[in-house]
Amino acid sequence: MADPRTPVRRTDWPDSVSRPVVTPLQPSVVYSSPDPDTLDAQYTGGAQGYTYAREGHPNAAVLAAKIDALEGATGGIVLGSGMAAVTAALLGVLRQGDHVVGADQLYGRSLRMMAEELPRMGIATTLADATDVDAVAAAIRPETRMILIEVVSNPTLRVADLDGIAALARDRGVLLAVDNTFTTPRGCRPFEHGADIVIHSVTKLLAGHSDATLGYVAARDPDLTARMGVLAATLGLTPSPFDCWLAERGMHSFELRYDRAEATAATLADHLAQLPGVTRVLYPLRPDHPDHNHAKALLGDRGGNMVTFEIPGGRAAANALVRAAERIAFAPTLGDVGTTLSHPATSSHRALTPEARAAIGIAEGTFRVSVGIEPEEVLCDEFEAAIRAAAAA
Ligand SMILES: Cc1ncc(COP(=O)(O)O)c(C=O)c1O
C-alpha cells in the first residue's frame, strides 16, 4: 500500500496468484533484509538472498544458469564483458611468479593481457601455436599454472588441438582455460574434453543481437569459481541487470540462430570458393582448410558461423568490396543476428606489422564474415556482387 504522506517510500508489489511468463527485470542496486540477524546470515551463507547488485543479482543468476546448462557447468558467473571473464579467469587464479601459456592467435585484447597486463603484475607469459600440442608442450615451464586457448581462432579459423592440450595440461598439472566464444556449446563443450575453465564473450552468439555486452566464466573446481566470483565483486566486473535480461531473451533463440547461421556459412564458404575474384576461403569443414581432418574429429559436422576469405588488390579492392556490400554491416564484431563483415588488418589485428599479419595469414584483402540468419541466396548474391566490384576497382 502506498504511503499517504509521501510518494518517496516504495510501494508494495501488487499481489497476484499468477506469475509473469517473462523473466522479470530487476534493476535494484541494493536489497533490504528484514533485520540485522538475517543480513548477517546472508553474508555467512546461512540464508540465501541478494545484498548489493555488484555482489550478484537475479538477472545475472538466471542467465548464468542457462549458460551452465549448455556448457555442462555448475555455478558459472556472468560478468560485465567477455574481457571481464578473461580477467576473472586469469587474475582469480594466478599469482605473482606464475607463468601462462597462451595461444598465439587469441582475441586481440586477450593477447594484450598476455603481452602487457600480466607481465606488469609479475606473471610471465609465452605464446604458442594451439594447433600443435608439441609447441604448447615446449612452452611449459616448472612455474606454468595455466594454458589459455580458443577452440577456433580469429580470423584464420585454425582449430586448436583441444584433446591433445587437455591431456598435456592434465599430465603436467596445469589448468586449461578455454575461450569458447566462437564455437559456442553448440559446436564444442570444452569441459567434456578436459578443460578446467570455460570462458565466453556472451556479447557474441549467445546473446546474439549486438545490444548487450557480457561475459561468462565457469570452472570445474567450485573453489576456483568461488575465487573468481570474489575477484569479480572486488574489481567490479559485475554485469548490468538489463544486459543480462536482454541476453537471456536472446538465448531463447540461440540454438535456432546458430544452426541456421552455420548451415548458411557452409553454403557461403563453398559459393565464395568458386568465385573468380576470391583467392582463398577458410572454413573449418572444407577439405582445403589446413586443420580439416582435425576439425572433423573435434567438431563433427559443426563448422560454425564464421567464414574468412581473401581477395587480391590490396586496400583499394578492400575498400571497394566494403562499399559495394552496403547492406552487410561492416563492423568488428561477430555473432549478431545479421551478417557482419570485418577487416582484420584495420581492426582486430591493426596493432601488428604487415609482416606479423602475413605470418599468421592476414593480408589487406582478408575479410572475416560472421554469418547471420538471412536467407542464404541473399547473402551469396550480395557477396558475389561485392567481390565483382572489388575486382573492377
Ligand atoms: C574470442 C573472444 N574472446 C573474448 C572477447 C571479448 O569479449 P567482449 O567484447 O564481450 O569483452 C571477444 C570479443 O570479440 C572474442 O572474440
- 77-79/340-342 β-pairing: unpaired
Distance, CA of 327 to CA of 378 (rounded, Å): 10
78 CA distance to ligand 1 middle (Å):
14
User: What confidence score (pLDDT) does residue 360 get?
Assistant: 86
CA 145/CA 23 separation, integer angstroms: 40
For residue 42, give every residue at least 6 positions away whose Cβ sits within 8 Å of its Cβ, in sequence order, or none.
Answer: 33, 48, 49, 51
- What is the DSSP secondary structure assignment for residue 301, as one 8-state letter? T
Could you tell me if the CB of 213 is within 6 A of ligand 1?
Answer: yes
Q: Are 166 and 121 in contact (CB under 8 A)?
A: no
Q: Is 150 in the pocket of ligand 1 (CB under 6 A)?
A: yes
Given this model, what pLDDT does residue 356 score? 87
Q: Is the pLDDT of residue 1 over 80?
A: no
What is the percent of the chain with per-residue pLDDT over 70, rounded to a whole number?
Answer: 100
User: Phi, psi at residue 88, to the nearest 5°?
Assistant: -65, -40
Beta-sheet pairing, 99-103 with 124-128: parallel
Tens digit of each residue's pLDDT (9 = 90 or more) over 115-168 = 999 999 999 999 999 999 999 999 999 999 999 999 999 999 999 999 999 999
Residue 351 confidence (pLDDT): 84
Structural domains of the chain, ranges and CATH numbers in brackets: 36-251 (3.40.640.10), 254-392 (3.90.1150.10)
C-alpha 39 – ligand 1 centre gap (Å): 37
Local structure of residue 54 (DSSP, 8 states): G
Span 87-112, pLDDT tens digits: 999 999 999 999 999 999 999 899 99
Q: Nine-digit cell at 358?
A: 602475413
Please, what is the average pLDDT of the chain?
Answer: 96
Does the Cβ of 370 fall within 6 Å of ligand 1?
A: no
Q: What average pLDDT score do residues 41-47 get?
A: 94
pLDDT tens across 262-290, in order?
A: 999 999 999 999 999 999 999 999 999 99
- Does 181 contact ligand 1 (Cβ within 6 A)? yes
pLDDT of residue 229: 96
CA pair distance 382, 384, nearest whole angstrom: 5
Q: How far apart are CA 262 and CA 251, in angstroms?
A: 16
Contact between 215 and 83 under an 8 Å Cβ cutoff? The reply is: yes
Backbone angles phi, psi at 329, to 5 degrees: -60, 125
Q: Tell me: the pLDDT tens digits for 196-221? A: 999 999 999 999 999 999 999 999 99
Residue 239 CB less than 6 A away from ligand 1: no
CA of 243 relative to ligand 1 center, distance in Å:
16
Answer yes or no: are the C-beta atoms of 335 and 208 closer than 8 Å: yes
**Atom in ligand 1 nearest the alpha carbon of residue 182:** 1
- Whole-number pLDDT of residue 352: 84
Nearby residues of 326 by Cβ (< 8 Å), 6 or more positions away:
none
Q: Cis (ω within 30 of 0) for the bond into 155?
A: yes
Q: How far apart are CA 293 and CA 235, in angstroms?
A: 42
